[in-house]
C-alpha cells in the first residue's frame, strides 16, 4: 500500500486547519430525520426575490418552454451540484474527514498493532493540538486505513451507521440535517422540469452515495466524486465481492470535475452550482457550452445562521471551501451568479421552520 | 506517451486473428438508417417460445408485480448489457478496431512523419497478412494514435462520421444496423417495466456513447466502457476543452465489469446479459445479489443468419467473444440461461423484416 497511489482530493490546508476545530469524536444513536420537502406548488419558497432566484427561474423557463430559442431537449438536461458548502455545511471540517477520524478506534480494534503507531496513536489521544499538527502524509494514512481495504458492503454499512448517529458540534444535529433547504428546492425544481440532477463532489463517491438518495433524492448512479478503485474477488464460499483499494481513479476537484463529468456522465451540464475554487473549472466547462447555461456560486456570508467566509467579500479567509478574489473576479467577468446566503435565502435549514 | 499506461481491454488473440479478416478500409456516405422499433404491444415478438423467452418474462413479472415476494423497488431496477456479441455483431473483428485501423490514414495525414514508420506503414499498405502479424505493442500504438490525443469533441465528430458511412463486409450495411432485434426488444421491455438499461462493454466508453442513444435508446451516462482519462485545458481564446489522454482508468472486461459497475453505477444489477468469458464476472456479481436475478448468455450458433462459434457446443473456437467450456459449465451449474440464436430468435436483424 503505497501512499503515493492515493491522493485524496482534499485541500491540505482545509484538512489541517479543520482538525484544530475537531469536535469530540461523535456517536449517538438517534435515527436520521427525514428531510423536509419542498413546499409543493411554490417553487423556491425559501428564496427571497432577487437576482439569484430570478436567474434560476429565467433559466428554467428559457430552457424548457418549447417555443424558447434556448429550449433544451429533455435528454440533454443535466445539472451538476458540488456538495460540501453548496448542498450542506462544510465547516469547520468536511464531514467525511470527521468520519475518517471517528473510524480510527474501530480500525485500531481490528489491528491492535496500530495503537502505538503514529498517526493512529495521535488520533486516539484526542489531543486536538497534536491532531492539528498531523502531516499530510499522516492524514493520508488515516484516510487509507478508514476508507480502503474493506469490502464495499462493509464500508457502506459502517458509513450508514455513523451518519445515523454522528452530530455536528454547533447544531448538535445529524450531518444529514445540515443540508440547505433552498438548495433542496432548486434540486426539486430542476427535476420537476426534466433536469437530471447530479452531485459532483470532491468528497468520496462511495461515501456520498450512501445517503444521496435519502437526503437529496439523487440516486447513487448520479453521484460523481473522488473515487478509488475496487478489486473483484471471492470469499471462502466462492461468493464474489468487491474490496475498496487504495488506488485513486478520479480526484474530483478543480480540473477533475469536468474530467469526472466526462467520465461518468459524458455530457456537458446546462447548469452547475458550486461555492469554491474547487468548482471553478466545472462552472467554466458548463459555461463554455453553446446556448444558455446557468452558473451559480453560493457565498457563505451569514455568520448568524451558518458561517461567513470568503476574502473577496471582506470576510475571513477559509481553509475549507475557499472563495478567492480570483474566483469572484471570474464570476463577475463571466456573468456567473453569486448566491448570498444572507440576502437570497429566507431559510437556511429545513429544521428552522418556515420564515 | 508510454504505451504501458494504456492497455486497451481487448483480447490480444481477438485483435490479431480479426485482422486477418480485415475488410478493405471502408467509407461511404449513406446516412444511418433508423432502428426498427419493437412492435408495440407485443413484448419480445422476435423471440420464439422457449426457456429463454420464458426466463425474461418470468423475471420481469416476479420483480415488478407489487404482490410478488421478489418485487424490486423501481429505483433499484438496473439491467446491464455487454455490447459486442450481445447487442450487435462482433465478427470478424470488433467494430471499434476496424474504426481505429480506418483512422490511420487521417492520423498520418496530420503527422506525415508516421507514414514510413511501423506499424502505421503496415496498416497503410493494406496488406492483410502483414497487418495480421502486427504485435500487441504495434496495435496499442495504433489505438493510441487513433483514440487519444485529440479534443473529445473532435473524436466524437470523427467517430460519428465513420459510423454513418463504414460498412460491414458481409452484409454491406452500417455497423449500427447490425444490432440484434430480439435484444432491442429486451431493452425496451425492461425499460417499459421500470428498468434502467446500461451498456457495460469492453469497448471504448467514448466510442459507444456516440451512438448509444440513437441506436439502443441508451443515453451516454448509461454507457460504462473501457475508459481512458481526459485532461482539462484551454484553447488560445481561453475556452476550456477536454483532451483524450493515453491513460487507462478502467479496463471494462472480466473483473473490470463489476468494478466498472460499482464505479459508474454504484448498485448491483438485477439483470445482466453477456456472451463471452469477458462477461463471466458481471454475471457472477449480478447472481450473488439477494433475491431473484436474471443472468443470460447469448450463444452464437447460427452460421446461416449470423455466425456460429463456441467450443462448448462443438462449434468452432472464436478469437472474438470466446464462449468457453468453463463458462458453459458455470452457466449450467449456476442456472444462467443460455440464449440460442438459432432456436430462440425468429429474427436476428431488424432489416430482415418480420418472420
Rounded to an integer, what distance in angstroms lies between the CA atom of residue B153 and that of residue B121? 27
Q: What pLDDT sits at residue B134?
A: 82
Any bridge partners for residue A247, and if so which?
none
Is the CB of A213 inside 8 Å of chain B's CB atoms?
A: yes
- DSSP per-residue codes, A279-328: GHHHHHHHHTSSS--EEEEEE-B-TTTS-B--GGGTSPP-SSS---HHHH
- DSSP per-residue codes, B4-41: GG---S--HHHHHHHHHTPPPP----PPPPPPPPPPTT
Q: Please give the order of strands across the beta sheet that includes A337-340.
A: A240-250, A223-234, A196-204, A78-81, A271-274, A294-299, A337-340
Task: Report residue A229: phi and psi, to 5°.
Answer: -75, 170
* B-chain residues near A214 (CB < 8 A): none
Is the CB of B230 inside 8 Å of chain A's CB atoms?
A: yes
Examine the pLDDT at B293 and tell me if it is beyond 90: yes
A contact test, residue of B153, B194, B221, B225 with most A CBs within 10 A: B221
In this structure, the strands spanning A271-274 and B196-204 are: unpaired
Exposed, middle or buried by CB within 10 Å (0-12, 13-18, 19+), for A171? middle
Does the distance separating the beta carbons of A232 and B263 come in below 8 Å? no
pTM here is 0.89
The 10s digit of each residue's pLDDT in A241-257 is: 999 999 999 999 999 99
> Which whole number is the average pLDDT over A57-78?
97
The 10s digit of each residue's pLDDT in A75-101 is: 999 999 999 999 999 998 889 989 999
Mean residue pLDDT of chain A comes to 87
**A252 neighbors A270 (Cβ within 8 angstroms):** no
* B-chain residues near A267 (CB < 8 A): 220-221
Q: What pLDDT sits at residue B132?
A: 76
Question: How many residue pairs bridge chain A and chain B with CB atoms within 8 Å of each other?
Answer: 89
Residue B114 to residues A177, B120, B155, B349, Cα–Cα distance (Å): 60, 6, 20, 40
In the numeric block, which cell numbers belong to residue B174? 452500417
The 10s digit of each residue's pLDDT in B173-225 is: 999 999 999 999 999 999 999 999 999 999 999 999 999 999 999 999 999 99
- Note the helical H segments in chain A: 12-20, 51-64, 95-110, 120-125, 128-132, 136-147, 152-163, 181-192, 205-209, 212-216, 256-264, 280-287, 325-334, 341-344
In the numeric block, which cell numbers belong to residue A323? 472563495
Å from B108 to nearest chain A CA? 27
* A-chain residues near B267 (CB < 8 A): 220-221
Does the distance separating the beta carbons of B255 and A229 come in below 8 Å? no
Examine the pLDDT at B288 and tell me if it is beyond 80: yes
Rounded to an integer, what distance in angstroms lies between the CA atom of residue B4 and that of residue B355? 49
Amino acid at each position: 500500500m503505497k501512499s503515493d497511489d492515493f491522493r485524496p482530493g482534499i485541500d491540505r490546508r482545509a484538512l489541517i486547519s479543520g482538525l484544530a476545530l475537531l469536535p469530540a469524536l461523535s456517536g449517538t444513536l438517534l435515527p436520521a430525520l427525514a428531510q423536509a420537502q419542498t413546499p409543493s406548488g411554490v417553487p423556491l419558497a425559501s428564496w427571497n426575490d432577487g437576482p439569484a432566484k430570478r436567474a434560476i427561474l429565467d433559466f428554467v423557463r428559457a430552457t424548457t418552454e418549447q417555443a424558447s430559442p434556448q429550449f433544451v431537449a429533455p435528454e440533454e438536461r443535466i445539472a451538476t451540484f458540488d456538495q460540501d458548502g453548496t448542498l450542506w455545511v462544510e465547516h469547520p471540517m468536511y464531514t467525511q474527514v470527521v468520519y475518517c477520524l471517528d473510524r480510527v478506534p474501530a480500525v485500531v480494534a481490528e489491528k491492535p498493532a496500530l495503537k502505538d503507531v503514529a498517526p493512529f496513536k495521535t488520533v486516539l489521544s484526542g489531543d486536538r493540538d497534536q491532531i492539528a499538527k498531523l502531516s499530510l502524509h499522516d492524514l493520508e494514512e488515516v484516510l487509507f486505513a478508514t476508507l480502503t481495504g474493506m469490502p464495499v458492503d462493509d464500508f457502506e454499512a459502517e458509513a450508514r451507521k455513523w451518519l445515523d448517529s454522528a452530530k455536528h458540534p454547533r447544531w448538535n444535529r445529524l450531518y444529514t440535517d445540515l443540508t440547505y433547504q433552498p438548495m433542496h428546492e432548486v434540486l426539486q425544481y430542476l427535476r420537476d422540469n426534466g433536469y437530471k440532477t447530479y452531485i459532483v463532489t470532491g468528497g468520496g463517491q462511495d461515501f456520498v452515495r450512501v445517503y444521496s438518495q435519502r437526503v437529496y433524492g439523487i440516486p447513487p448512479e448520479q453521484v460523481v466524486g473522488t473515487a478509488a478503485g475496487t478489486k473483484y474477488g471471492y470469499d471462502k464460499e466462492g461468493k464474489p465481492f468487491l474490496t475498496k483499494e487504495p488506488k485513486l481513479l478520479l480526484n474530483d476537484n478543480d480540473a477533475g470535475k469536468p474530467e469526472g463529468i466526462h467520465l461518468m456522465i459524458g455530457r456537458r451540464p446546462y447548469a452547475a452550482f458550486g461555492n469554491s475554487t474547487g468548482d471553478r473549472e466545472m462552472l467554466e466547462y458548463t459555461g463554455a457550452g453553446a446556448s444558455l447555461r446557468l452558473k451559480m456560486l453560493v457565498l457563505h456570508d451569514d455568520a448568524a445562521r451558518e458561517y461567513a467566509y470568503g476574502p473577496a467579500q471582506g470576510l475571513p479567509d477559509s481553509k475549507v471551501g475557499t472563495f478567492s478574489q480570483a474566483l469572484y473576479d471570474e464570476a463577475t467577468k463571466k456573468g456567473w451568479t453569486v448566491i448570498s446566503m444572507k440576502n437570497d435565502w429566507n431559510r437556511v435549514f429545513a429544521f428552522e421552520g418556515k420564515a
